[in-house]
Amino acid sequence: MKAMILAAGRGERLRPLTDTTPKPLLHAGGKALIVWHLQRLAAAGWREIVINHAHLGEQIEAALGDGSAFGLNIAYSREPAGALETAGGIAAALPMLGEQPFLVVNSDIWCDWDFARAHLAAQALDRHAHLLLVDNPPHHPAGDFCLAGETLLSAADTLSEALTYAGIGVFWPDFFASIPAGTVMKLRPLLDEGIARRIISGERHHGRWVDVGTPERLAALDMELAGTHASPTLL
């Protein structure tokens, strides 16, 4: 099973930090955000990683190299200036991801979910995507989706408690097969279509999750991690 880390975004909300540094290389707790993911993926047994990039992507490749420093093999999916959005970026990387389900992780989050659980989700035969959901953060109080058991529903279609998509999911390649390579496309339209077809499942994570979307949230996470995960500066 391979994993893809989404690292192509411009990081507009993190400016001016991202004017000169791509957001996956911004630091919290002594490590680049993407390094937290890489180390936890390696610890959970991953070896093959795909990283897409666009804005300042050469810095990402220079910092991470071929992944051998983390016990990983990293391949890069290079996108044009402006990037392809989430669904478009995943579709462009499908030739690198193979024919089996794969894990997708946003680079601009911090989460303590056990990546090994992705293997359990990938064993299901009746779904095309599996999303990790978390409690709604203060900056996104309305949430995105609801759960009926393990079935994902739109928050607008039910009175159940709404939750926020964590930016972590397991996807089957055919979920993106209809998107021509090079297409700019967001993920939400595909998710809405999959919800209507009842082919997406989900689970709720009760642990720590942070959407590192602003300089203020990055600084708060840095202070939190410095006190609980002290380590030498990496990258």
Which stretches of the chain are DSSP H helices?
33-43, 57-64, 85-97, 117-121, 188-196, 215-228
pLDDT of residue 156: 73
pLDDT of residue 110: 96
pLDDT of residue 228: 65
Question: Which residue in the block uniquely carries the two structure tokens 């051998």?
Answer: 68
Query: Which phi and psi (to 5°) does residue 125 adopt?
Result: -105, -5
For the segment 140-157, what is each residue's pLDDT rounded down to a tens digit? 998 999 998 899 998 776
Proportion of the chain above pLDDT 90, given as a percent: 78
Q: Any idea which fold 3-226 has?
A: Spore Coat Polysaccharide Biosynthesis Protein SpsA; Chain A (3.90.550)
Burial of 20 (0-12, 13-18, 19+ CB in 10 A): exposed
Nearest one of 33, 38, 30 to 223, comparing CA atoms: 30
Query: Which phi and psi (to 5°) does residue 185 adopt?
Result: -155, 135
For the segment 190-223, what is each residue's pLDDT rounded down to a tens digit? 999 999 999 999 999 999 999 998 999 999 999 9
Residue range 24-29: mean pLDDT, rounded: 94
pTM over 0.85: yes
The two three-digit tokens of residue 79, written as one number: 């996108």
Nearest one of 219, 210, 221, 220 to 166, comparing CA atoms: 210
For the segment 48-74, what is each residue's pLDDT rounded down to a tens digit? 999 999 999 999 999 999 999 999 999
Which helix (H) or strand (E) segment is 216 a member of?
helix 215-228
Residue range 185-189: mean pLDDT, rounded: 96
For the segment 84-127, what is each residue's pLDDT rounded down to a tens digit? 999 999 999 999 999 999 999 999 999 999 999 999 889 876 78
- Ramachandran sector of residue 225 (left: φ over 0; alpha: ψ -120 to 50; beta: rest): alpha
